[in-house]
Structure 1
Amino acid sequence: MYTLEEVQEHNKTDDVWIVLHNKVYDITRYLEDHPGGSAILFEVAGTDATEAFEETGHSDEARKELEKYHIGDLPTEGRSKLSTFSRSFSRTTNGFD
């Protein structure tokens, strides 16, 4: 189990975690393989990226690929915070300048 606060700490170019549907993923090794480029993943690093992921309309194949990077889940009590957890970090804050 990982909290949203723990996920937020993983928002650097060499350490990228995201949350999708209450599951935590370490996508660091996937950055260079992402068909849309790594920049889009840096934008959601350390955040709940569910909305962005779903808006893009990922294929079943992409969803299956994602499972390789699943490292844990949010605790039940942390899930209620999803609507208030900030997804907006500046590139400077994330260290992507």
Structure 2
Amino acid sequence: MAKEALTLAEVSKHNTKDDCWLVIAGKVYDVTKFLEDHPGGDDVLLSSTAKDATDDFEDVGHSTTARAMLDEYCIGDIDAATIPATTKYTAPKQPHYNQDKTPEFIIKILQFLVPLAILGLAVAVRMYTKSESA
């Protein structure tokens, strides 16, 4: 018989350094033993208790090794109906701002030519000072 899914209320009780559970991608993980070894420190994990920590986990960009480690800490599934619906903030798309209305191709050409001119000037100065000292 399959074990009943855990509720967020049950998982939320486990929010200390001695007993820490996280909800990530529909699964519940007991990460208590990992708190000390977590590269970001235990506060990062403790701040993700009592909620769906999936976005927190994904936003960091964990390695495949870190993702594989989750399996050893998995203790069950979360009852999705007990997690309140939240909307993740997404910044509105901003149009590219070109204050003086300079055509894009001119900007791109200048981004290439200006550093090239500075490099050429630096080489010329170096060669000039070298020839003066000789």
Shift of 1:57: 0.5
1:64-79 matches, within 5 Å, as 64-75=68-79, 77-78=81-82
1:17 and 2:21 equivalent?
yes
Q: Report the equivalent of 1:32.
A: 36
Larger Cα-atom Rg: 2
Which one has the bigger helix percentage?
2
Structure number with higher relative contact order (C-alpha < 8 Å, ≥ 6 residues apart)? 1
TM-score (norm: length of structure 1) = 0.77
Calculate percent identity across the aligned residue pairs.
Answer: 48
Shift of 1:36: 1.1
Q: Report the equivalent of 1:48.
A: 52
1:8 pairs, out of 6, 12, 16, with 12
Distance 2:36 2:25 in 1: 23
Shift of 1:4: 0.8
What secondary structure sits across from 1:19 in the alignment?
Answer: strand
Distance 2:37 2:80 in 1: 31
Aligned residues: 82
CA-based RMSD: 1.4
Q: Is the 8 A contact 2:30 2:75 kept in 1?
A: yes
Q: Is the 8 A contact 1:10 1:16 kept in 2?
A: yes
